[in-house]
Amino acid sequence: MKQAGKYLFRYKKYGLLRHLSHLETMKMIERLLRRTGLKFEQTQGFHQRMKLSFAQALPTGIIDLAGLFIASTFEVIDDPFVIKANSLSPNGLEIVRAEKVESSFKLSKALEGYEFKIVFLETPPLDLDGEVEEVNDIWVVRTFRPFNSSVPKNGEFGQFLTVRSKAILSEVQVD
């Protein structure tokens, strides 16, 4: 039997959508993909759903510029598809791109971790590891968190904003 193509999607979630929980984000993305009309691989069992696998969950309130998920389909996903998806997407959710990966690709193996930007309106606390940058009385601390380790929560360090800015992947094997 022919195997469906596996795609790695990158998305951004910002603005008021940062207040969505991980489950709400997953549901929002699944419904967006359903609106495109493209057939994606489904889970097995009685209650069939789209088979999507998301990378690490993010606590509510964090801006996500480095969202990742994997979906499989027999159809071709190209730039026009991404444009179509974005036209059907709520404000604040954007699919950045989708790339085909090998069928053996697993996010849990490829994802090394994330870079976070923690934004302060006053001098950041000293116990927060990372590179500090200051422009016009705004401090940004860049910090790396390995995959599946704890992530900075909103307000944890008295910060103004938290951004998951980059996903660090070992080289993605494009099919």
Contacting residues toward other proteins, per CB under 8 A: 16-17, 19-21, 23-24, 27-28, 30-35, 37, 46-47, 49, 60-61, 88-92, 154-155
Give the nearest distance from C-beta 119 to other proteins in angstroms.
Answer: 13
DSSP string for residues in 53-74: EE-S---TT-EEEEEEEEEEES
Q: What dihedral do alpha carbons 106, 74, 89, 55 form, nearest 10°?
A: -10
Give the nearest distance from C-beta 53 to other proteins in angstroms.
Answer: 18
Give the nearest distance from C-beta 90 to other proteins in angstroms.
Answer: 4
Residue number, 27 or 106, with CB nearest to other proteins: 27
Give the nearest distance from C-beta 91 to other proteins in angstroms.
Answer: 6
Distances (CA, A) of 59 to 95, 109, 136: 20, 22, 28
Of 108, 117, 102, 115, nearest to 162 (Cα)? Answer: 117
149's tokens: 């380790």
Residue number, 20 or 107, with CB nearest to other proteins: 20
Question: Contact at 8 Å (CB) between 164 and 65?
Answer: yes
Residue number, 7 or 40, with CB nearest to other proteins: 40
Residue number, 8 or 50, with CB nearest to other proteins: 50
